[in-house]
């Protein structure tokens, strides 16, 4: 009696939550990298797009994948579907461009990880590159090890991301004080410009030419307050003091050092780059106006009475009192 040796591929049974986690990570992975949309397009349009996006993209794609996956239950995904429908050539084209798109998207995630890490710690260009490489290596190893590890890793990160966003949502709801959809769009840019992703803020221009062009085209030039305090960029780019000297500096961000906002405002004034009221405006009125917060940013009748009392101690500004909407909180 003749026996035929047949190799049976070992199949791994995945849990439902594991499948959901992998799909979530591949399709969305969280609302990262969209922070600039609020200032450029307006909070109303940004929130509306986030609500509409699943219906115009995610659900149709999910229905397509479910339908084709059931009709053609073979390995290869979009390549197999394209080949069976239109022939080998177009199947190859679909597979190629799908792979290229995936690689480009994954590269964006590496850049985002390094960008968010730089907001927490001071990273040199070499360290930022090392973070990106580490992300590629770690998750490549996870994929190579096998589906079990991939499922566990994706489930962990999905729970972590969803829990973080849920916590932010809960805190936001508990401190709900104004309509998050107002203003609907960036009123200075106009409705259609906002919908078209009109740019209202130039964040961290790396050269004087870039800052000049941004300012001349009506953008708010935003630089990091630590750049002012340090007297230069830790990445070797143009100094915020030079941009202030040229008259292009429109606002400051705390970046990775919140206290630097106060220190930078006084440093600009003491250094003779601008008056103290103008320097304080970089961290109050200007950014509030840029993101459409018309109820704060300056001391005027009808606006929120948000105040910070500061005194100088050995050349350093020190916060003495804080009032929020007229009530002393510190």
Pair 162, 229 in one domain? no
Segments forming the whole domain that contains residue 80: 22-174
225 with 150, same domain?
A: no
How many domains does the chain divide into?
A: 2
Under the banding of pLDDT at 50, 70 and 90, the label for residue 12 is: low
Give tens-digit pLDDT for 243-254. 999 999 999 998
Is 286 domain-assigned? Answer: yes
pLDDT, mean of residues 318-324 = 93
Nearest residue to 237 (alpha-carbon basis) of 248, 226, 227, 247: 227
- If asked whether residues 209 and 170 sit together in one domain, one would say no
Rounded to an integer, the average pLDDT of 74-91 is 85
**Domain-located, residue 194:** no
DSSP track, 128-142 = HHHHHHHHHHHHHHH
Q: Please check whether residues 213 and 140 belong to one and the same domain.
A: no
**Whether residues 137 and 208 fall in one domain:** no
> Are residues 164 and 218 both part of a single domain?
no
Burial tier of 41 (Cβ tally within 10 Å: 0-12, 13-18, 19+): buried
The 10s digit of each residue's pLDDT in 179-229 is 666 665 555 555 445 444 456 788 888 899 989 988 887 788 999 999 999
**CA distance to 27, 125, 141, per residue, from 137 (Å):** 21, 19, 6
Cα 168 from Cα 150, distance rounded (Å):
27
Q: Tell me if 274 is assigned to some domain.
A: yes
pLDDT, averaged across the chain: 81
Q: Which of 133 and 58 is assigned the larger pLDDT?
A: 133
Q: Which pair of structure tokens corresponds to residue 43?
A: 């909070």
Using the predicted structure, report yes or no on whether residue 285 has a pLDDT greater than 90: yes
Q: Where do runs of H (alpha helix) occur along 146-224? A: 147-174, 191-195, 208-216
Is 191 part of a structural domain of the chain? no
Instruction: Please indicate whether residue 275 or residue 67 has the higher confidence score (pLDDT).
Output: 275
Q: Residue 21, exposed/middle/buried by CB under 10 A (0-12, 13-18, 19+)?
A: buried
Average pLDDT over residues 59-77: 80
Residue 6 has pLDDT above 50, yes or no: no
Asked if residue 311 belongs to a domain, the reply is: yes
Q: Say yes or no: 132 and 63 in one domain.
A: yes
Same domain, 40 and 158: yes
Residues in the chain: 330
- The mean per-residue pLDDT over the stretch 127-152 comes to 83
DSSP calls for 65-97: HHHHHHHS--TTTHHHHHHHHH-HHHHHHHHHH
């Amino acid at each position: 009696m003749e026996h035929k040796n047949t190799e049976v591929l070992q199949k791994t049974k995945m849990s439902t939550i594991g499948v959901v986690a992998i799909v979530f990570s591949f399709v969305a992975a969280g609302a990262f990298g969209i922070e600039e949309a609020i200032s450029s397009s307006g909070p109303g349009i940004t929130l509306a797009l986030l609500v509409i996006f699943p219906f115009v993209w995610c659900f149709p794609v999910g229905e397509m994948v479910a339908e084709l996956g059931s009709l053609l239950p073979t390995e290869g995904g979009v390549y197999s579907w394209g080949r069976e429908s239109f022939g080998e050539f177009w199947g190859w084209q679909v597979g190629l461009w799908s792979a290229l798109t995936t690689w480009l998207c994954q590269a964006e995630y590496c850049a985002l990880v390094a960008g968010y890490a730089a907001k927490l710690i001071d990273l040199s260009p070499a360290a930022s590159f090392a973070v990106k490489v580490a992300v590629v290596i770690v998750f490549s190893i996870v994929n190579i090890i096998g589906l079990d590890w991939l499922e566990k890793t994706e489930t962990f990160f999905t729970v972590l991301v969803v829990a973080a966003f849920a916590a932010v949502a809960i805190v936001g709801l508990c401190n709900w004080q104004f309509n998050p959809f107002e203003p609907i769009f960036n009123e200075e840019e106009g409705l259609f410009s906002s919908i078209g992703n009109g740019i209202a803020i130039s964040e961290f221009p790396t050269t004087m030419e870039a800052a000049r062009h941004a300012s001349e085209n009506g953008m708010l030039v935003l630089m990091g307050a630590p750049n002012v305090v340090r007297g230069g960029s830790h990445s070797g780019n143009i100094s915020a003091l030079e941009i202030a000297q040229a008259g292009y500096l429109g606002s400051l961000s705390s970046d990775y050092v919140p206290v630097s906002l106060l220190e930078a405002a006084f440093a600009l004034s003491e250094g003779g780059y601008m008056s103290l009221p103008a320097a304080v405006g970089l961290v109050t009125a200007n950014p509030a106006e840029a993101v459409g917060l018309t109820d704060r940013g300056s001391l005027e009748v009808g606006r929120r009475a948000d105040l910070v009392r500061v005194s100088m101690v050995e050349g350093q500004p020190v916060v003495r009192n804080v009032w929020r909407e007229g009530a002393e909180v510190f």
